[in-house]
Amino acid sequence: MWIESFNVSLDANLDGWVSLAEAWAGLKWLYMLPGNLLLEIVGQFPSLAGPFRIRASEETGYASLNGWFSLLFSLVPWLYALVKLCDLRDWMRQRFGSRSAHGHGNNTHHHHHA
């Protein structure tokens, strides 16, 4: 089965370099990948894809990829990943302690003047 979502080239003009525009297109591709893959799965079932006018298969073409559905469907897994990354950061802070918990970066010694 052909998966159009993986049909990508970071060096679009084949000059051997990745320009800023090509890098931006690569980031957009990465962001849209979860939604595009979901649309391609749905596109394999005409009875499911038809009512939503999803075109994401060899038979119907791939006009639905990189559109609004893909944009919205991609948001969910990326938000989930962001939340998990924040949870990991908190877990690491609790597990290994923060720098201030060990007295680094702040003055914990009190000087008494008479």
Report yes or no on 13 lying in a domain: no
Number of domains in the chain: 1
Q: What is the pLDDT of residues 91-105, one digit of tens each?
A: 998 989 865 544 554
- Domain range holding 81? 18-98
**CA gap 62, 40 in Å, rounded:** 8
DSSP state of 30: H
DSSP 78-102: HHHHHHHHHHHHHHHHHHH--GGGG
Report yes or no on 110 lying in a domain: no
Q: What is the pLDDT of residues 32-69, one digit of tens each?
A: 999 999 999 999 999 999 999 999 999 999 999 999 99
Residues in the chain: 114
Residues 80, 87 contacting (CB under 8 angstroms): no
Report yes or no on 47 lying in a domain: yes
| Residue 112 confidence class, pLDDT cut points 50, 70, 90 | low
DSSP state of 26: H
Report yes or no on 55 lying in a domain: yes
